[in-house]
Chain A
Amino acid sequence: AQKVTQAQTEISVVEKEDVTLDCVYETRDTTYYLFWYKQPPSGELVFLIRRNSFDEQNEISGRYSWNFQKSTSSFNFTITASQVVDSAVYFCALSEAGRSQGNLIFGKGTKLSVKP
C-alpha cells in the first residue's frame, strides 16, 4: 500500500538553527515521484520540489536541501539557518506512475515554528 509518514508533528526552533523534517514513504511502484509542499499560515499550498525515483541526487536550493535515499525510503528536507518566515506546515507527498489519476498522497504534515 502507498503511504507517507511524517513522524514529527511539530518542531520548534530558534532562528538561525538548522532543522530537518523527516519523510518516509511506502510504495510498490518502481517509478514514483516525491514532493514537498509548504503551507504558511495564510493557507495556500506552495510547491517546493519534485523528485523522481530514478534520481537520488541530493538537491540544494538556497537554504533548502533535500536528501533522497531509496535504501531507507526517505526524502528528508533540511532548512539551514532557519528564519521566522519559514514557519509553516510542511507536507511530503507521493505520486505513483502506475496510478492513472496521478493524485498526491500526503503525509500528515510537520508544523514548524521558528522563533526569533
Chain B
Amino acid sequence: GAGVSQSPSNKVTEKGKDVELRCDPISGHTALYWYRQSLGQGLEFLIYFQGNSAPDKSGLPSDRFSAERTGGSVSTLTIQRTQQEDSAVYLCASSDFHGTGNQPQHFGDGTRLSIL
C-alpha cells in the first residue's frame, strides 16, 4: 500500500514568510508524528497526534510553529514568520495506535525547507 506522503518535497522561501507543510499518513494509522532533521541538532521530535488530538505541544520550538490534523488523517505543520534557523528537513511519520509507544513509525520522504 501507499506509504507516508509529504508535500512539497522542497520549499524555498524568504525569511518572514509563512509556510505550510503537509503530511498524508498511511491509511488507518491513528498516530502521526512530526520530526525535524538538521545538521546541528540531528532528529528532533516536534509533535504527536493521536487521532486529531495533540496532547502535548511542548516539543514545538517556538510559538511560530503550529500543527493540526483533520479527519484523523492529513496533518499540516505551519511555520509563521520563518527564520533562517527553521531551515531543515521536516519529516512526518505514522504508526498504528501505539498504546505504549512500541509500534514502528513509518516515515515519509520529508520536506526540505530552505529559508533565504
Contact = CB atoms under 8 A, between A and B. Distances in A.
Interface residues of B, number: 26
A106 B46 CA distance: 13
Nearest to B6: A44
B101 A99 contact: yes
Size category, A interface: 20 to 34
Interface string A18-62: 000000000000010101010000111111001010000000000
Contact of A31 (B56, B89, B98, B100): B100
A45 B36 CA distance: 12
A50 B100 CA distance: 13
A33 B102 contact: yes
Say what secondary structure dominates the interface of chain A.
Answer: loop
Contacts of B55: 100-101
Contact of A47 (B35, B42, B91, B105): B105
Contacts of A31: 100
Interface string B86-116: 0001010101001011111111111000000
A47 B3 CA distance: 12
A102 to B, nearest CB: 3
A13 interface: no
30 contacts: A31-B100, A43-B109, A44-B108, A44-B109, A44-B110, A45-B107, A46-B107, A47-B107, A50-B104, A52-B102, A91-B43, A95-B102, A97-B100, A97-B101, A100-B56, A101-B55, A102-B31, A102-B48, A102-B95, A102-B102, A102-B103, A103-B33, A103-B45, A104-B35, A104-B45, A105-B45, A106-B43, A108-B42, A109-B42, A109-B43
**7 residue pairs, one from A and one from B, having the closest CB atoms:** A102-B101, A97-B100, A45-B107, A106-B43, A102-B98, A103-B45, A95-B101
